[in-house]
Amino acid sequence: MSDTVSIQPVLATHGAERLPKVLVDSYNVELADDDGFIGDRASRRAFRTIVEKWRKPLRELGQDPFGEEASEKISKKSMDELLAEGHPEAAGILHGAIEDFAQELAEVTRRFLKVKAWRDTERIVIGGGLRDGRVGELAIGRASVLLKADKIKVEIDLIRHHPNEAGLIGTAHLAPAWMFQAHDAILAVDIGGTNIRVGVVRLNLRKADDLSKADVWKSELWRHADEKLSRDEAVQRLIDMLRKLIARAAKEGVALAPFIGIGCPGKIEPDGSIDRGAQNLPGNWESSRFNLPGALHKAIPKIGQHETSILMHNDAVVQGLSQAPFMRDVERWGVFTIGTGLGNARFSNREPE
């Protein structure tokens, strides 16, 4: 699968500013100072670094309650259990890390709110892997308290769907819901710096025509960070996962729309190429001659009897879109996704079509 640009039908431009429910005011902002990118201070890696900082003095005394396990290897489930009923010093380390990370997240939020495109943001929803666990929730809650104490007028909320599903469900909001009326579900792809997840999103339009009842029917996860693969091998693995889901949907009578929605890290160009921000993906995804939607259309030209249409946007934008039906009470809102890095997007609601 050499570098190539393929022409494929699209319903709108990739990385579009104007979407059915919202205007995308900003995304993939990369704020920096002398110490590097500001968003990196509120990433999953940053939290693990803080945990390691708190462990170091105890380790030097031979009294580390976490034992020999590396900080980056401690599971979220283990941290939640230790916080609730583990060794008091292990819980103490986690409390210290939660406070330090909350301070960083609050400061990152302050810096974003000073950016022109983020001014007057009324609510920020937090998604990403760190949100999936009690430790992450407490850090987010503490950051919210710090901002309120500073009289900063922004609400901080947790993304409604499980983070593993929000990045899939959000793809249904890339195209107008009326286009899916004759179908049960769509194919969705969520590409991250650590994992690639594909799924079948049930639209449930009879229950709610605003897609607020959409859910994930089936999904598959591949942790690409554990393997050393080329970009072409990664794309082929993605294609194989999609084909498997198409076959399963056909077998079980789920009527798929001829549509694939994709969330992908980076700045997405209108033609589907990636300008920057995909450095954590396997191989070079930022080549002007590589086009993921084109590669997928070439491999999956039809779904059912109809030609496949594909839309791709930034992964933080897509995860934020999963929240769109529940944000009609504000005008301007944003999303942070705390994962390999800090994904970000700011939206303004549009009047329903």
Domain ranges within the chain, ordered by starting residue: 22-26+162-328, 32-158
pLDDT in tens, 127-186: 998 888 999 999 999 999 999 999 999 999 999 999 899 999 999 999 998 889 999 999
Give strand ranges (E) for 12-168: 22-27, 32-33, 36-37, 123-127, 155-158
**Choice among 3-7, 124-128, 132-136, 324-328 with the minimum mean pLDDT:** 3-7
The CATH number assigned to the domain with range 32-158 reads 3.30.420
Instruction: Using alpha carbons, list the distances in angstroms from residue 162 to 128, 319, 323.
Output: 9, 10, 11
Could you tell me if 224 and 194 are in contact, meaning their C-beta atoms sit under 8 angstroms apart? yes
Whole-model pTM over 0.85: yes
**Under 8 Å between Cβ of 76 and 136:** yes
Task: Tell me the mean pLDDT in the region 71-96.
Answer: 93
22-26+162-328 has which fold?
Nucleotidyltransferase; domain 5 (3.30.420)
Instruction: Between 248 and 279, name the one with better pLDDT.
Output: 248
Across all residues in the chain, what is the average pLDDT?
92
Pairing of strands 332-338, 155-158: unpaired
Q: Taking residues 101-108, what's their average pLDDT? A: 97
Q: Please give the average per-residue pLDDT across 298-305, as a whole number.
A: 94
Neighbours of 318 (CB within 10 A): 33
Asked if the domains at 22-26+162-328 and 32-158 fall in one CATH topology, the answer is yes
Q: What is the mean pLDDT of residues 205-213?
A: 94
